[in-house]
Structures are given as C-alpha cells and as structure tokens.
Amino acid sequence: MSTTMSEAEVQEKLVQHPGWTLGEDGQLHAEFRFKNFAQTLLFVNAVGHLAEAADHHPDLFIHGYKYLKVSLMSHDVGGVTARDFRLIAQIGALPMGQPTEP
C-alpha cells in the first residue's frame, strides 16, 4: 500500500511537471489540447494503456472535441502518492504528452 504525500510534498514534486496542478478535490489535474478529435482519441488510448498496465485509473474527460482533462489520485488510499507521479511521468513521455498551461 502506498503512503499519501503531504500537500507540501505534492507541490514540491509538481515543480517537475509543468501544467499539472493539485486541485481542491485533492487530485492532480492537467488539461491537454490536440489538433483534432482523432489525435485526442489516440492520446486517450495511450494513457489508458499506461494506466491499465499500472493498475491505476485516472479520470479522462474529453470535451470540445480536442481537449482532454486528466484527473488522478490513488483512490485506494485517498490521496496523492508516488504512484501518481510515476503515471504523470509516463504520460509526459508520450508524444504530445505535455499539458497546456493553465
């Protein structure tokens, strides 16, 4: 079982992941913008593959056909853990895996 991180620890780690923020709901959030719906779907499927392989399941919300909002936390422990940051790093390594700035 993973240990949840304090808000200060999360904020410190977020410096390494521009575009990701800690929401008031305790989840990590990022918004991505793509050229078209097809690119959005390709990215969603890639994130889904990474998440499934890690047995970690972020919320993925497509809106406006080319925007994707990703929200994640370790639901099993009710907070953000190192596991969340591992998934964020994997997402960031995908082509077009950098979130748009808020």
pLDDT per position as a tens digit, 52-63: 999 999 999 999
Asked if residue 56 belongs to a domain, the reply is yes
Asked if residue 2 belongs to a domain, the reply is no
Q: Rounded to an integer, what distance in angstroms lies between the CA atom of residue 101 and that of residue 48?
A: 22
Asked if residue 102 belongs to a domain, the reply is no
Tell me: the pLDDT tens digits for 37-95? Answer: 999 999 999 999 999 999 999 999 999 999 999 999 999 999 999 999 999 999 999 98
Question: Which residue range(s) make up the domain with 11?
Answer: 7-93
Q: Rounded to an integer, what distance in angstroms lies between the CA atom of residue 2 and that of residue 77?
A: 7
pLDDT at residue 98, rounded to an integer = 81
Asked if residue 88 belongs to a domain, the reply is yes
- Look up the CATH number of the domain holding residue 26: 3.30.1360.20
Count up the domains in the chain and report the number: 1
